[in-house]
Amino acid sequence: MNHFLDIHKTDATALRTILDSAAAMKSARNGRPRGAADDEQPLKGQMVALIFEKPSTRTRVSFDVGVRQMGGETMVLSGSDMQLGHGETIADTARVLSRYVDLIMIRTFDESVLIEMAEYASIPVINGLTDRTHPCQIMADIQTYEEHRGPIKGKKVVWCGDGNNVCASFLHAAGQFGFDMVFTGPAQLDPEDEFVGLARKAGVSVTIERDAEKAVDGADLVVTDTWVSMHDSQSSKERRHNMLRPYQVNDALMAHAKPDALFMHCLPAHREEEVTSSVMDGPNSVIFDEAENRLHAQKAIMRWCLGV
């Protein structure tokens, strides 16, 4: 049984197998209607529980559609539906769900909920996002980069802004896929030392550079994410905006990257805040390819978890 909890916890060979599978399934769907089933139905007869403690657009739709395209069925559950960890322990919930469904995807706040779910479930568990990491997004991002520019190994990836959960999974991926990373942002929002250390231990370069223009110099890929979350207070939002304003990705900043450097953002984006519309809609942007590839990458992850 294979859980997909974090990129650094999954063997590099398995990660490559997942991406190859994602590319093959995407190619096989060329020209098909969005709702059409895949020729292969590897999830036929299987039930997947999609648990959301956090609101979601891309994660919910891409997992739901992916399961259906592969012939399976979904059960979408919210944290309020289940009172996860309140009326019943996470461990007991995991044991019960394991008697009903074949696979669990959970999008939650506290990483400990994910870890406990996986520890006590007798079926595979996928990390749909926690406050610390977002591995499914980065698998889609790697797929997207390689579709456009070939192998990501040895490339320079620059993260601008907040060293958040998406940044953390990029650092995990750097070690597993062999690319270098530069983080540029305020010191208060640096990525966790643990994640930086894991990448460096894997043999790749991770640099912290406060000057955004120096950081982006010669970049192959520039990535950012929203500066605020829906749970931040108004005063917190204002403080973060003041801290992060020098790290906005705009045309002037992108001019310091390589001419063919790609721009990514996992969405949703706040246009004219962390990134300008001219960059988002520009020729180097692949943000909607990223969004589409969530579908294909996650289908491949589910197949790998289930061994089908």
Catalytic option among 46, 69, 137, 176: 137
In the numeric block, which tokens belong to residue 278?
């001219």
Q: Active-site residue 225, yes or no? A: yes
Catalytic option among 294, 296, 298, 303: 294
Strands (E), 122-268: 125-129, 156-160, 180-184, 206-208, 221-224, 262-265
Q: Active-site residue 68, yes or no? A: no
Catalytic option among 167, 225, 265, 305: 225
* Alpha carbons 283 and 286: distance in angstroms, whole number: 8
Catalytic option among 3, 58, 132, 134: 134
Residue 132 near residue 171 (C-beta atoms within 8 A):
no
Q: Active-site residue 248, yes or no? A: no
Report DSSP letters for 256-278, one per residue: TS-TT-EEEE-S---BTTTB-HH
Catalytic option among 136, 160, 167, 266: 266
Closest CA to 227 of 265, 196, 273, 287: 273
Q: Active-site residue 6, yes or no? A: no
Question: Strand 180-184 relative to strand 156-160: parallel, antiparallel, unpaired?
Answer: parallel
Q: Active-site residue 107, yes or no? A: yes
* Alpha carbons 221 and 181: distance in angstroms, whole number: 10
In the numeric block, which tokens belong to residue 97?
């769900």
In the numeric block, which tokens belong to residue 155?
């490339």
* Alpha carbons 195 and 204: distance in angstroms, whole number: 12
Longest pairwise C-alpha distance within the chain: 55
Catalytic option among 3, 107, 240, 303: 107
DSSP state of 285: B
Q: Active-site residue 32, yes or no? A: no
Q: Amino acid identity of 26?
A: K
Q: What residues are labeled active site?
A: 107, 134, 137, 225, 266, 294
